[in-house]
Amino acid sequence: MTNPDIEKWRALAEKEVKRDPDNLVWETPEGIPVKPLYTADDLQGIGHLDSLPGLKPFVRGPRATMYTGRPWTIRQYAGFSTAEASNAFYRKALAAGQQGVSVAFDLATHRGYDSDHPRVVGDVGKAGVAIDSVEDMKILFDGIPLGDISVSMTMNGAVIPILASFIVAGEEQGVSRDKLSGTIQNDILKEFMVRNTYIYPPEPSMRIVADIIEYTAKEMPKFNSISISGYHMQEAGATLVQELAFTLADGREYVRAALKKGLNVDEFAGRLSFFFAIGMNFFMEAAKLRAARLLWTRIMEEFEPKKPSSLMLRTHCQTSGVSLQEQDPYNNVIRTAYEALSAALGGTQSLHTNALDEAIALPTEFSARIARNTQLILQHETGVTKVVDPLAGSYYVESLTNELAEKAWALMEEVEAMGGMTKAVNDGLPKRLIEEAATRKQAAIDRGDEVIVGVNKYRLENEDDLDILDIDNAAVRNAQIARIEKVRRQRDPKRWEETLNALREVARSGEGNILEAAVEAARARATLGEISDALREAFGDHAAVPKVVSKVYGAAYEGEPEYKTLVGRLDELATTMGERPKILVAKLGQDGHDRGAKIIASAFGDIGFDVVAGPLFQTPDEAADLAVESKVHVVGMSSLAAGHKTLAPQLVDALKSRGATDVIVVVGGVVPRQDYQYLLDKGVAAVFGPGTNVLDAARAVLDLMEGKRRNA
């Protein structure tokens, strides 16, 4: 388009919108200005435009033919209470067109606890499958030929006992470890940033990562030793630039750790994989995957590999969980379909599509079928697999790809200047930036600046109940305990003790490979908790100190009458009480997803509450002790992983037993509407489900406090 033509367009656009078209520019949360018109002029100076798929720098895809030769792998992430229930689900899904198994573990398993541990009473079988030993792993894959089906396992904290048990289960199925294919996540740096299912401190955790890369490089040539994950960063509130930069910086750190083990880069680089979230910014998400491949090639060239495949970024993607909404939940089918299309246009190698009810609970068979069929329809009915990288050459997409790459690279350089990602994580930089971004986004949603259909606009007057999957936590735990006891009765105690002692020595001395020693312990039927405890004895536990960002949520409301009124009302209550209203934001159980809790703590602090941010992984008794010690007026329990029906009543009872009956208990997070009355009957004063406006929650808490004072 010539410059005179652009001026003609500008005049026409100005006439149509009655204002300067420059004012139509949209600035994304990443700080990228998006114009209403892109032309060839926007592609000047972009270096990757002549690249081809399968060739460096792989912007257009890691394989020459991409989906025209073979579509992406449909890999649905799932785990249901017991190994038996999960196995039945996997077998049905494989028969219906799923092409690989992707395992979701419960939170007790993630944190390295056996199901009989007292800290995990409310977590067993919730949000995934409980795995305590090789016997559970064998049941999980019963009738699933591990020599033919690839298995992805999302596991980081307890990665050693889980991978060891998988290897032994394969052997006992008749499949040697060199024939096993799949991926273990093994991405511990991301856990310290956002997801928090860590066990050990960062330094020994990085040794575990390196030992797994070393072992699999030598023993498991078909198995991906690490899936470097940005998914949980975006779910925690990261911008796409942050997700891209921190994920690739993590990858660079893992490569360095493997090289320190004496490995040649070409021995393991081809088995590294990535994992990205795909949210609702359709074109930018596709551009993000293209930019990721461009930047990873640049990073890997630093290590001078000889194989071209060592420069390739291969990735799994999952549609966004945080974009799913409890309100008008059938809209989630539409959201997931658009996100899946974006992932396909961006060139993912495998994909999980979320089910419509996953904003509330684990998916039912009905919702899981819709999610899986979303991908089948994309592959077979839309024609997107017929052309490699159909967005290539788009003025807009190529410009976005370049913008994302430049901004992400600048952030990666900042991390490098700090001494690398381990140092940056220890200093708290990524966590702080992500939490600030999450708080800004929540404020934009609450203000209505960011529209979510059915939540803050076009909301239904009445919501229909949705059939959801409810797990009987107590029944699952009892069954798991019975199996653990059987394993302990039947194993050889001498061999069991010898293998665990050998594992402790490898961990303490720094000599030998931790995974290799753990495989021997798993063969001797050491449980997941026992293997984890052996490493705890050598490495210690990691405990994060909660920090809360401030003046981010409130800044978004500066000058707003509604916000000023609420702040004034709180000030009046504080004057009447003679102290600031004080709230403990508590995370109970083993759920480390703390995005919601951090946003509430930050926003309530800006509004004027005195906020106590409780540590992760508390028991109800520990939370009650902290509430009494801190003399709070309210405890806000944040729930995400379906433990609320067990943990909230225990918290209420724990406060009563300490004489703190005047403390108000509220629950917020992923709580199905069907559970509200149950919680209210158990003494919870209010429930704030998904999509609750933070200011509405603050008003409700003030109402409760004022009502209690009037009735005192």
Point out the residues that are catalytic: 77, 231-232, 587, 591, 593
DSSP letters, 411-444, are HHHHHHHHTSHHHHHHHTHHHHHHHHHHHHHHHH
Strand intervals (E) in 533-655: 582-587, 610-613, 634-639
CA dihedral sign of residues 639, 641, 644, 646: negative
Whether residue 637 contacts residue 667, with contact meaning beta carbons closer than 8 Å, is answered with yes
| Structure-block tokens of residue 176 | 């040697």
Bridge-based pairing of strands 582-587 and 350-352 is unpaired
Residues in the chain: 712
Distance CA 75, CA 555 (A): 42
Whether residue 670 contacts residue 466, with contact meaning beta carbons closer than 8 Å, is answered with no
Distance CA 427, CA 394 (A): 40
CA-nearest of 309, 306, 240, 315 to 279 is 240
* Neighbour tally for 664: CB within 10 Å: 20
First to last CA, the chain: 74
Whether residue 693 contacts residue 455, with contact meaning beta carbons closer than 8 Å, is answered with no
* Neighbour tally for 418: CB within 10 Å: 14
Counting Cα atoms < 13 Å in the Cβ hemisphere of 651 gives 37
Give the CA-trace dihedral at 597, 587, 184, 345, to 10 degrees.
Answer: -20
Distance CA 242, CA 227 (A): 18
Strand intervals (E) in 213-349: 223-224, 226-229, 272-278, 315-319
CA-nearest of 430, 30, 445, 392 to 230 is 430
Distance CA 425, CA 246 (A): 10
CA-nearest of 292, 376, 471, 358 to 77 is 358
Distance CA 290, CA 579 (A): 54
CA-nearest of 184, 139, 195, 187 to 162 is 184
CA dihedral sign of residues 396, 397, 403, 404: positive
Distance CA 645, CA 664 (A): 17
Could you give the C-alpha distances from 681 to 620, 645, 657, 675, in angstroms and in order?
18, 11, 18, 10
Q: Give the three-class secondary structure for 111.
A: coil
Rg (CA), the chain: 26
Whether residue 445 contacts residue 327, with contact meaning beta carbons closer than 8 Å, is answered with no
Distance CA 191, CA 17 (A): 47
Only one residue has tokens 């002692």, namely 501
Residue 74's beta-bridge partner residues? 351
